[in-house]
Amino acid sequence: MKNLAPLLVIGLGLTVFSACGGGGGSTSSTNTTTPAANTAPTLATANADQTATVGTAFNYDATQAGTTFSDADNNTLTYTIAYAPNAQGLSDAAGIISGTPSLAGTVSITITANDGNGGTVSDGFDIVIANAPTNQTAIQAKFGGRIDLDNLANYANQTVPNYITKLNDGGNPITDAGATLGRVLFYDVALSTDDTVACASCHAQSLGFSDPNTVSEGVEGGLTSRHSMRLINTQFADETNFFWDERAASHEAQESQPLQDHNEHGFSGQNGRPSFADLVTKLEAIDYYQELFTHVFGDTTVTEARLQQAISQFVKSIQSFDSKFDEGRAQVGNNAADFANFTTDENAGKTLFLNAPNNGGAGCQGCHRAPEFDIRPGSGHNGVIGVANSTTESDLTNTRAPSLRDVVKADGTPNGPLMHDGSLTTLLDMINHYNAIQVPTDEPLRTNFLDTIDNRLSGGGNGQRLNLTETEKSQLVAFLGTLTGTSIYQDEKLSDPFQP
């Protein structure tokens, strides 16, 4: 139970004189009696935490038959209820909460009583929604012990270092059951029209959930137009939009797009391909989904929203905070001080990364911000404007990058080609790009480029020139290598449950 200190706001009850905007009346002297002071209601009996079960009707009177609050003036109280992070299928009338919870987890309730004279008071309590008790015969037949509803892996309460402060969970926090369903969906080729493609086909665990190919292959040889993105620490960021060009407004909105993409999972409904409704029908007929959806959502219905919730909980749970950087950062308490566990070159690379160009640095921190290394919201593009597999087109819309954590594997080689077009294959190529950004010479591309490149990188119209020495470049490469962890590559709960 969260002990919300009762929020007392004493209603002043003053009549507002029509001093301004009062409709032009000239008789403002009629309202001069001083009204009796109002006494705000008070908390009498706090609500205890409540329990509920997904899929089972719930009903609770948060006014406790009018005894939760009392009001010395005997004013009639009206009630409002707030749900955090969201109502999960519950609603209320006159202080009575009812509905069928749609997802397990904890909903924090704040009930506020208002006496109609400006006096209010609140009480807070939790409704803890448990998963539906579910038979898991089909799950055990399919996954053996790799998925066990009675002993779920820990996705929701993973350790996050105290210096990680950004959180973008989209109001859909991770639950163990939701992420477990998300894991199965992420690895399931049944989510493609021809049973060949899963999310994991283009987001491989061994590669930081990315793809070694420049562009990725979806159903029937269809190709994506951009390079696949690593899915690391996606919820530890300020930028809320997803994809290189930020066209998805949230994690949840992103997750169902690949399913309906003609060239990815293929449920586009175009050119004779099945539609999203066909995917729903297909999944509802699979026995292990009947059990998993019942466990997480209370019944076997598959909807786009449920798919989004579960898959995005799994993706958000892919978190990487066990790098050499984290070890050093935990010891010194800030990003800038030298880390005791770093080599001289790694520390020098860190300083170059953090410092602005006018301060002898490379300015990377301006957009890829330590310690999350998330992209700065509102960044322009970085001067990489190619289109994968094309020599003639250009694309000025790419303003998001995944966290720079795990950009390379433990051996220092990249987890796949870099940038939206996969045009830079080594960290040194990448640093050479930022060291001397090339501005196109042909119009109108030149003007469009200069209008859209982030002004940190425009170099006054000539493209940024950092004039880094070869030593400094290798120091930056050494530093980027410290951002790689180990657990995400091995963690069983992030692995393919279809593989014994």
CB of 228 to ligand HEC, least distance (A): 4
Please give the Cα distance from 247 to 258 (Å, whole number).
13
> Contact with ligand HEC (CB under 6 A): which of 381, 405, 473, 493?
381
Stretch that binds ligand HEC, among 28-36, 81-89, 296-304, 452-460 (CB under 6 A): 452-460
Told to check if 449 binds ligand HEC by CB under 6 A, we report no
Told to check if 430 binds ligand HEC by CB under 6 A, we report yes
Told to check if 311 binds ligand HEC by CB under 6 A, we report yes
Told to check if 420 binds ligand HEC by CB under 6 A, we report yes
Stretch that binds ligand HEC, among 17-25, 140-148, 196-204, 328-336 (CB under 6 A): 196-204
Told to check if 407 binds ligand HEC by CB under 6 A, we report yes
**In the 3-class helix/strand/coil scheme, how is the chain assigned residue by residue?**
CCCCCCCCECCCCCCCCCCCCCCCCCCHHHHCCCCCCCCCCEECCCCCCEEEECCCCEEEECCCCCCCEECCCCCCCEEEEEEECCCCCEEEECCEEEECCCCCEEEEEEEEEECCCCCEEEEEEEEEEECCCCCCHHHHHHHHHHCCCCCCCCCCCCCCCCCCCCCCCCCCCCCHHHHHHHHHHHHCHHHCCCCCCCHHHHCEHHHCCECCCCCCECHHHCECCCCCCCCCCCCCCCCCCECCCCCECCHHHHHCHHHHCCCCCCCCCCCCCCCHHHHHHHHHCCHHHHHHHHHHHCCCCCCHHHHHHHHHHHHHCCCCCCCHHHHHHHHHCCCCCCCCCCCHHHHHHHHHHHCCHHHCCCCHHHCEECCCCEECCCCCECCCCCCCCCCCCCCCCCCCCCCCCCCECCCCCECCCECCCCCECCHHHHHHHHHECCCCCCCCHHHHHHHHECCCCCHHHCCCECCCCHHHHHHHHHHHHCCCCCHHHHCHHHCCCCCC
Told to check if 202 binds ligand HEC by CB under 6 A, we report yes
Site string for ligand HEC, 161-180 (x = CB under 6 A): --------------------
Told to check if 456 binds ligand HEC by CB under 6 A, we report yes
Q: For ligand HEC, which is the closer residue by CB, 79 or 244?
A: 244
Please give the Cα distance from 154 to 488 (Å, whole number).
14
Told to check if 374 binds ligand HEC by CB under 6 A, we report no
CB of 329 to ligand HEC, least distance (A): 18
Q: For ligand HEC, which is the closer residue by CB, 430 or 494?
A: 430
Stretch that binds ligand HEC, among 1-9, 168-176, 256-264, 280-288 (CB under 6 A): 256-264
Told to check if 309 binds ligand HEC by CB under 6 A, we report no
Q: Which amino acid is residue 468, in one-letter code?
A: L
Site string for ligand HEC, 6-45 (x = CB under 6 A): ----------------------------------------
Told to check if 351 binds ligand HEC by CB under 6 A, we report no
Q: For ligand HEC, which is the closer residue by CB, 41 or 383?
A: 383
CB of 87 to ligand HEC, least distance (A): 25
CB of 22 to ligand HEC, least distance (A): 52
Told to check if 481 binds ligand HEC by CB under 6 A, we report no
Q: For ligand HEC, which is the closer residue by CB, 113 or 184?
A: 184
CB of 134 to ligand HEC, least distance (A): 23
Told to check if 183 binds ligand HEC by CB under 6 A, we report no
Told to check if 265 binds ligand HEC by CB under 6 A, we report yes
CB of 17 to ligand HEC, least distance (A): 54
Nearest C-alpha neighbor of 262 from the set 201, 208, 193, 316: 193
> Contact with ligand HEC (CB under 6 A): which of 113, 315, 354, 388?
315
> Contact with ligand HEC (CB under 6 A): which of 136, 228, 290, 313?
228
Told to check if 310 binds ligand HEC by CB under 6 A, we report no
353-359: long-range contacts at Cβ-Cβ below 8 A with a sequence spacing of 24 or more?
A: 353/476, 353/479, 353/480, 357/464, 357/466
Q: For ligand HEC, which is the closer residue by CB, 25 or 461?
A: 461
Is 223 in contact with 263 (CB distance < 8 Å)?
yes
Told to check if 401 binds ligand HEC by CB under 6 A, we report yes
For residue 222 the two structure tokens come to 């269809």
Cα–Cα distances (Å) from 445 to 96, 392, 412, in that order, read 61, 12, 35
Q: Which residues pair with 381 in a beta bridge?
A: 453
Cα–Cα distances (Å) from 296 to 43, 101, 176, 301, in that order, read 35, 10, 9, 11
Q: For ligand HEC, which is the closer residue by CB, 109 or 384?
A: 384
Q: For ligand HEC, which is the closer residue by CB, 47 or 399?
A: 399
CB of 3 to ligand HEC, least distance (A): 37
Stretch that binds ligand HEC, among 125-133, 219-227, 287-295, 331-339 (CB under 6 A): 219-227
Which chain residues interact with ligand HEC by CB under 6 A? Answer: 186, 197, 199, 201-203, 216, 218, 224, 226-231, 234, 242-245, 254-255, 258-259, 264-265, 311, 315, 362-364, 366-368, 379, 381-382, 384, 398-402, 404, 407, 418-420, 430-431, 434, 454, 456-457, 476
